[in-house]
Structure 1
Amino acid sequence: MGQRVETAGRTVELPGWLQPCRAMPDDPPGSLPFLYQIAGDTGGSTGLVTVSPLAPEQTMPFGEARAVIDGIHECLGDDQGLVEVKATRTRGGEPVIWSIVKTTMEPSGVQYFLMLHLATAAGPLCVRGFFDEAVATGMRDTLVAARGYEGPWRADPYDPSFTRGNLMNQSEAAEWDAAFPAHPLSKARKLARYVVEHN
C-alpha cells in the first residue's frame, strides 16, 4: 500500500515500506524524511529517503539523459561509479529523470545514491535516497560471479571508454534485482519504478 505525501503544494505517492521519521537540521527546507530497513536470505539494506521541493533551475534536464550521464562522469570520485540514468514519464504523463551512483564504504560495503527529479503541477520535486548494504555485504557480487558471466566484470553502462573509478559490475544489472530483493540497489530501483508507476 502506498502513501501520498505533500510538501510546498507538491504531492507524490511513495511506497508503504518507507517509514516517516524526524527531519534533521541540515535537511533542505520542506523536507520529508523516510527510513527503511530490510533483511533477507541474500543480505539486507537500510535506507534514508528525503522528499523536498526543488527550484526549477536546480532540476536535472528532463528528457536529456545523455547530459546527465556526461555531468556525472565529470564529477565521479575514484571510489564511485555510475549505475543508471533514466529519463521517462510517469503514468500520469509527468516528466521524471533519475540517476543512481554507487560509492564504496569503509570498512566494507557499497552505498547507492538515488537522485530523482519529478515534475508536478506545483513545481518540481526531488526524491533523494541513500541505500546502504547491511548484514552480509558483497553477497550479490559473489553469487552472481560464481554463476559465470560473459564480457568484462566491470564497465561503465553508457561509455565503454570511460574507465575511471569503481565501475558498475555485472551483478548490478537490473536483471538480478528480483533474485536479490533486499539489496540496496534493488530497493533504489524499486523506489524509482514506484514513483513512475503511481504518479
Structure 2
Amino acid sequence: MPAQQHRPAMPIVFDTSGLRPHENGRTWVDSASGDAVSLQVNDGPPFDASWMSGLAALRKGFARMFADAGCLIEADLVPFGGARAVYQLVKVPMPNAAHGQVFLAIFTLTKSPAYAQLIYQAPERGTTGVRESMLFMRLGTPADWTRPHPYDPELRTKLPFHRGDEPGWDAQFPDHPLSRARRWATHAARSAVVEPSFAALPELGGH
C-alpha cells in the first residue's frame, strides 16, 4: 500500500491549551514562553532498525546521533496515546548565537512505512546559563560536574553531559527551558492520543 495512505492528517492529537496555531497547522507556539510544538510525519525509517533490539542499543544510537549537534540528555521507550514512542530529550546550541541552548523533547512513533514525531522546542531567552551557574556555585564547584555520557561513556559530545541537567533540579528552576520541556513531555505522554489506524501500523524492526 502506498506510504501516503498511511499518513492521516493528524496522527497524534495532543493538548494545545495555551498554544496558538502557526505555519500550516503543524506548529503551535506558546506566546508567553516562545516555546513551540511541531508535528511531523515523514516517509521511511526514522533511524536504524537495529536500535530497537533493546533499550541499551536505542540509547547508544541516539547518544551518537546527537553527539555532533549537542547532547542527548535522556532517551526511553514509553507508552504514548495507545501506541509506543521513543522519547528523547536533547540540548543543542542556540542557532546563530554565541551563547544559549535549545532543549528539545521529542516523541517518535517508530512506524513503517511512515513515522511521526511530536517535537517541543524550548529556547533559552534573556540571560543564559543561569541554572548551570547557580548550581555550580551551590554545589561548591564540584569536580564531577561534567560526567561521561551514561549511554556511551567513551562518546564525545558537542555540549557536555553534566549534573545541571538532572531532573531533580527542575522544581528549583520551574521556568528554565529544560524544566518546561520535561514538564510538557510528562503531560504529553499522559494526554496525547494516536490515531487508531496509525497506531496499528507495524513498528520499525517488527517489535
TM-score relative to the length of structure 1: 0.73
- Give 1:160's match in structure 2, choosing from 150, 153, 157: 153
User: Aligned to 2:185, what secondary structure does the other structure show?
Assistant: helix
Matched, 1:183 2:176: yes
Number of residues paired by the alignment? 178
> Which has more helix, going by share of residues?
2
The residue number in structure 2 matching 1:53 is 41
Post-superposition CA distance 1:50-80 (Å, at most 9, x none): 1133446337866844333222333445561
Alignment partners' CA distance in 1, 2:76 and 2:9: 26
Contact 1:60/1:97 (8 A) holds in 2: no
The residue number in structure 1 matching 2:71 is 81
Q: Which deviates further from its counterpart, 125-134 or 150-159? A: 150-159
Q: Of the two, which has the highest radius of gyration?
A: 2
Alignment partners' CA distance in 2, 1:114 and 1:99: 6
Matches within 5 A, 1:41-120: 46-55=34-43, 57-58=45-46, 64-78=54-68, 80-90=70-80, 93-105=82-94, 106-118=97-109
User: Aligned to 1:58, what secondary structure does the other structure show?
Assistant: coil
Distance change in 2, residues 1:190/1:54 (3 Å): farther
Distance change in 2, residues 1:160/1:59 (3 Å): closer
Post-superposition CA distance 1:143-165 (Å, at most 9, x none): 11121166611122323333443
User: Aligned to 1:83, what secondary structure does the other structure show?
Assistant: strand
Q: Identity rate of aligned residues, in percent? A: 23
Structure 1's unaligned 5+ residue stretches are 1-6, 24-30, 39-44
Structure 2's unaligned 5+ residue stretches are 1-7, 193-207
Post-superposition CA distance 1:32-62 (Å, at most 9, x none): 1011254xxxxxx532221133446337866
The residue number in structure 2 matching 1:26 is none
User: Aligned to 1:68, what secondary structure does the other structure show?
Assistant: helix
Post-superposition CA distance 1:93-125 (Å, at most 9, x none): 4212111221223221111123211479xx853
Distance change in 2, residues 1:142/1:168 (3 Å): same
Q: Which has the higher contact order (CA 8 A, sep 6+)?
A: 2
Alignment partners' CA distance in 1, 2:169 and 2:83: 28
Alignment partners' CA distance in 2, 1:13 and 1:194: 9
Distance change in 2, residues 1:52/1:80 (3 Å): closer
